Amino acid sequence: MKYQKICILGLGYIGLPTASTFATHGVQVIGVDVNPDVVHTLRNGGLHIQEPGLRTLVQAALRSGNLTIQNHPDQADAFIIAVPTPFRENKLADLRAVEAAAQAIAPYLRKGNLVVLESTSPPLTTEQRLAPLLERSGLKNGEDFYLAYVPERVLPGSILRELIENDRVIGGVNRESAEAARDLYQLFVRGEILLTDTTTAEMVKLMENTYRDVNIALANEFARLAERFGINVWEAIELANRHPRVNILRPGPGVGGHCISVDPWFLVEAAPDLARLIRTAREVNDGQPHHVVELLHQTFGILAGLRVAALGLSYKADVDDLRESPAIEICHLLQKSGAEVVAFEPYRQESQAEGIPLAKELSLVLQDADLLAVLVAHQDFRNLSPATAAQTMRGRFVLDAVNLLNRAAWEKQGFQVVKVGEGRR
């Protein structure tokens, strides 16, 4: 199938790079977002998210005349839905944005069009939730229009490269739909394109993230055991991973982001009687920020009144994304314990985030701090000198939740250091 014009709904971390990449590969793209700020910013040459190389790519796409930004869809050969699929307070999937996008597409849907869902979704969403809404157009899925689920597996920080190079799983409601979607994605994907059905593709995406979540939960549990037995889990994991068929991931302050900490709940919701290990892993990782604060209590005693310099608020290293971040939860728990928390997040310029005041520079956050809490392994923090910290800080307490600091160097400067996963005998 040939595609001249496509419409992409949702211009976030996934939709915007995808829209711009199609546009720079010669396809006319209508980028649609319901957030007026996003539309306004992009139309005026700005960018509302940070991702290496994205500014240049978006500018090239806009300059080519192939990318236009709108707040509503239009007729096109194909529609791609890349809207958020978060969960609600009760951990149940919130599919309202997917449903709204489908309803917005239906009036523009024509015979022979392709509709693709990219948003991470619970099993059977494409068949049971999306298809009926699109069929309000009067057209039948798989017969009058093609319908496919195409999950995304890019790594934030490397999105532009991985978008092109990663292998891509494409699930169609029938073979023709999968092939129609393959014809679209092979315009820029250089990785292998693998065809299957929609529900398998939905499961594949959820299985990938659940696998990582369970593995990290295991690492976090190993860290707690190591703390109890007085050994160093980081050394133990390195040694265990010398086994040719073992690959334990890293423990840390918990699991965040809108993917790994969210997606496994979709499986728990879909089959609570079966997804028991998955639920437990989620609970272990969700409990990790509490565990870290408890570790601080046990080591340093009362936290009330301490001034804490928190390094990093994002959900992982070297990204600006704060969604579901365990670093933020640790800061909130410290605030609840009566500590005064100021954070430095090199990827955010605002004066506060989620009720946590932000310092503009690393040197400023350290000023008069009693406790330094390294919560994210940003590159910017790797060269932090204990001698400089000793000059600026008031107290001598350090928490390293990500195994970034050299304990001996900090102890030499008189700091008392607590590290996740490092027991002391």
Ligand X SMILES: NC(=O)c1ccc[n+]([C@@H]2O[C@H](COP(=O)([O-])OP(=O)(O)OC[C@H]3O[C@@H](n4cnc5c(N)ncnc54)[C@H](O)[C@@H]3O)[C@@H](O)[C@H]2O)c1
Choose among 250, 403, 374: nearest CA to 313.
374
Give me the residue whose beta carbon is nearest to ligand X: 12
* Distances 377 to 53, 190, 212, 327 between C-alpha atoms, Å: 21, 31, 18, 11
The footprint of ligand X (CB under 6 A) covers 9-15, 32-35, 38, 82-85, 97, 100-101, 118-120, 152, 154, 156, 258-259
Active site residue: 91, 111, 205, 360, which one?
205
Residue 258 or 419 with smaller CB distance to ligand X: 258
Q: Per the residue annotation, which of 259, 316, 331, 419 is the catalytic one?
A: 259
- Which of 98, 313 has the CB closer to ligand X? 98
Looking at the Cβ atoms of 259 and 420, the one nearer to ligand X is 259
- For residue 130, what are its two tokens? 């999306």
Position 416, amino acid: Q
Helix, strand, or coil here: 391?
Answer: helix
Question: Minimum distance from CB of 156 to ligand X (Å)?
Answer: 5
Look up 316 and say whether it is catalytic.
Answer: no
> What is the nearest approach in angstroms of ligand X to the Cβ of residue 269?
15
Residue 131 beta carbon to ligand X: minimum distance, rounded to whole angstroms: 17
Distances in whole angstroms, Cα of residue 335 to Cα of each of 257, 308, 338, 361 = 22, 9, 5, 21
Residue closer to ligand X by CB (options 156, 264) is 156
Nearest one of 145, 140, 149, 135 to 185, comparing CA atoms: 149
> To the nearest whole angstrom, how small is the minimum distance from the Cβ of residue 341 to ligand X?
26
| Integer CA distances (angstroms), 176 to 37, 147, 180, 181, 234, in order | 38, 9, 6, 9, 49
CB of 62: closest distance to ligand X in angstroms? Answer: 17
CB-nearer residue toward ligand X: 15 or 251:
15
The two structure tokens encoding residue 232: 């160093």
Q: How far is the CB of 25 from ligand X (least distance, A)?
A: 20
SS3 state at 16: helix
What is the distance between the alpha carbons of residues 265 and 144, in angstroms, rounded to a whole number? 34
The pair of three-digit structure tokens given for residue 278, joined into one six-digit string: 């998955």
Q: In the beta sheet, which residues pair with residue 343? A: 310, 358
**What's the closest the beta carbon of residue 72 comes to ligand X, in angstroms?**
9
Measured distance CA(36)–CA(345) in Å, rounded: 26
Tell which residue, 58, 107, 105, 101, has the closest CA to residue 83: 101
CA pair distance 362, 305, nearest whole angstrom: 21
| Cα angle, residue 100 at apex, residues 99 and 102 outer, rounded to 5° | 65
Residue 296: alpha-carbon gap to chain centroid: 27
Let me know if 205 is a catalytic residue.
yes
Q: Which lies closer to ligand X via its Cβ, residue 259 or residue 398?
A: 259
Report the distance separating Cα 189 and Cα 25, nearest Å.
11
Closer residue to ligand X, CB minimum distance, 79 or 415 = 79
* CB closer to ligand X out of 9 and 375: 9
Nearest to 50 by CA among 346, 330, 254: 346
Q: Is the dihedral of CA 287, 293, 296, 302 positive or negative?
A: negative
Give catalytic residues, as residue numbers: 205, 259
